[in-house]
Amino acid sequence: MSLGAEVVRGWQGTDAPSYEIINSCVQCGLCLPSCPTYLLNTRETSSPRGRIHLMKAVSDGVLDVLDPGFTHQMYECLDCRACEAVCPSGVQYGRLVEPARFQVERARRHGLRESLLRRAVFGRLFADMRAFRSFSRLLWLYQVSGLQVAARRSGVLRLLGLAGMERLLPRVPRRFLVARGQVLPPVGERRYRVGLFAGCVMSTAFAETDAATARVLQRNGCEVVLAGGQGCCGALHVHAGELQGGRDLAKRNIEAFERLELDAVIVNAAGCGATLKEYGHLFERDPEWAGRAKAFSEKVRDVSEFLAGLGELAPGMASLDVTATYQEPCHLVHAQRISAEPRRLLQQVPGLRLVEMQESSVCCGSAGIYNITEPERSRRLLDRKMGHALATRADIIVSANPGCILQLQGGLQASGSGVRVRHLVEVLDEAYGGAAGRTRA
């Protein structure tokens, strides 16, 4: 049965888990040992197979979409897609859980507080980069003015129930990267013309990582275009069941990049990259946008995928004399199946010794806002991750997604460890000499 013509039972409208995909699960259970939530409690309902079974029950009309057991499982799931990567039947689990969450949110009656919060976050903050930068500027002020220290000491955050969330805030830099159509020249001969997807959190809280990404690309023969009009990728919307908001953001990004004649659109955040690569799916029932979305998605490359595809990195890296271990972001390894490339790049850095941690590809518990919505489960996953990472005795943990980086930093802080977390491109950029290295080149 084709996706367009399928009969969907128990759901409302066409943005629903596909009955065809649900039925492609043969219930073999081979995905269970890869599922982080199943690893935590070994309950069938907390496994991919169990969740697909529940979705089938809703599709068949024997379970209500607002059944507490069903809604709990849709959100206990990390949407890490580890099950998808190991499934021999090719079940596209991500394409089930995201529309299932959309159906839950659509059927739910949100209270006033939650409605206002969702509107502020999804409809305003992440929908408008000017608002996002203003908010980030306030965070920066909060952090540098001494207010953060005072708030933490006074205990007011704990009283308001905000202490856990506040601890996860990134350290916001003074300067942001604002994409306005700037074109950054390559070092040496131009080999490629690429667009840099700057992102919302990446271009503000991680603006230095964006700048490092541009520098490394320039060092490797790329002219880098910072397309004006781009914004948030919409991942948070899609994962939280806000499909329409996600589509609105996707349209803006497609329009920003599609006429620039680029060889690739480069992204340095695994979660954003997975979403950008799936814009085609997001618009598959929209004849006006389907082709444009697919064409855009086909150009998207994670920065590690792109650089590793060049073969050898450009010469000029200095020795770093550091031991590193690599933590695989779920949306890089499972959703995009990129695993060898970051390691190949790290192995090219002179003086860097790469040591493997156990369970590198098991979720660290960050998973979008999972560490806020499911703090206890998130902490257990983080503890497990910290155990494996610190057992390597590495000096740095390398990752490639802002959520994972913040989560790992939180874990290291809590354990009092001096180990640092770095984004992959920051390591490459440091080897190239950073901003000073570009000036010298």
| Interacting residue ranges for ligand SF4, rule: CB under 6 A | 25-31, 34-37, 48-49, 51, 77-83, 87, 89, 91, 93
**CB closer to ligand SF4 out of 278 and 426:** 278
**CB closer to ligand SF4 out of 26 and 120:** 26
Query: In this structure, how many other beta carbons lie within 10 angstroms of the beta carbon of residue 421?
Result: 20
Nearest distance in Å: CB 138, ligand SF4: 34
CA pair distance 34, 82, nearest whole angstrom = 6
**CB closer to ligand SF4 out of 22 and 179:** 22
Nearest distance in Å: CB 326, ligand SF4: 20
Nearest distance in Å: CB 83, ligand SF4: 3
**CB closer to ligand SF4 out of 60 and 321:** 60
Long-range contacts at 186-189 (CB < 8 A, ≥ 24 apart)? 186/218, 186/221, 186/222, 186/223, 186/224, 187/218, 187/219, 187/221, 187/314, 187/438, 187/441, 188/221, 188/314, 189/221
> CB within 8 A of 87, min separation 6: which ones?
25, 30, 31, 48, 93
Report which of 253, 239, 275, 245 is spatially closest to residue 197, judged by C-alpha positions.
Answer: 253
For residue 244, what are its two tokens?
């329409």
Nearest distance in Å: CB 5, ligand SF4: 24
CA 338 to chain centre: 13
Nearest distance in Å: CB 401, ligand SF4: 15
Residue 287's identity, in one-letter code, is: P
**CB closer to ligand SF4 out of 48 and 402:** 48
Phi, psi of 182 (to 5 degrees): -60, 150
Q: Using the structure block, give the residue that is written with the tokens 């409809």.
A: 123
Q: Using the structure block, give the residue that is written with the tokens 């190949």.
A: 344
Contact 209, 426 (CB under 8 A): yes
**CB closer to ligand SF4 out of 31 and 324:** 31
**CB closer to ligand SF4 out of 81 and 281:** 81
**CB closer to ligand SF4 out of 81 and 385:** 81
**CB closer to ligand SF4 out of 77 and 397:** 77
3-state secondary structure of 304: helix
Going by DSSP bridges, is the β-strand pair 420-423/396-399 parallel, antiparallel, or unpaired?
Answer: parallel
CA distances from residue 371 to 105, 165, 233, 363, 374 in whole angstroms, order as listed: 20, 8, 20, 11, 6
Q: Using the structure block, give the residue that is written with the tokens 């949110």.
A: 105
**CB closer to ligand SF4 out of 32 and 127:** 32
**CB closer to ligand SF4 out of 35 and 249:** 35
Nearest distance in Å: CB 423, ligand SF4: 23
Nearest distance in Å: CB 168, ligand SF4: 20
For residue 216, what are its two tokens?
């490394």
Nearest distance in Å: CB 76, ligand SF4: 8
Nearest distance in Å: CB 160, ligand SF4: 30
CA distances from residue 393 to 342, 358, 387, 390, 422 in whole angstroms, order as listed: 20, 12, 11, 5, 15
Nearest distance in Å: CB 424, ligand SF4: 23
**CB closer to ligand SF4 out of 97 and 424:** 97
Angle at 246 between CA 94 and CA 224, to 5 degrees: 95
Alpha helices by DSSP H, 42-167: 48-59, 68-76, 82-86, 94-107, 112-118, 129-144, 147-154, 156-159, 163-167
Query: In this structure, how many other beta carbons lie within 10 angstroms of the beta carbon of residue 208?
Result: 17
For residue 349, what are its two tokens?
């850095």
Nearest distance in Å: CB 56, ligand SF4: 11
CA pair distance 53, 42, nearest whole angstrom = 16
Q: Is 101 exposed, middle or buried (0-12, 13-18, 19+ CB in 10 A)?
A: buried
Nearest distance in Å: CB 48, ligand SF4: 4
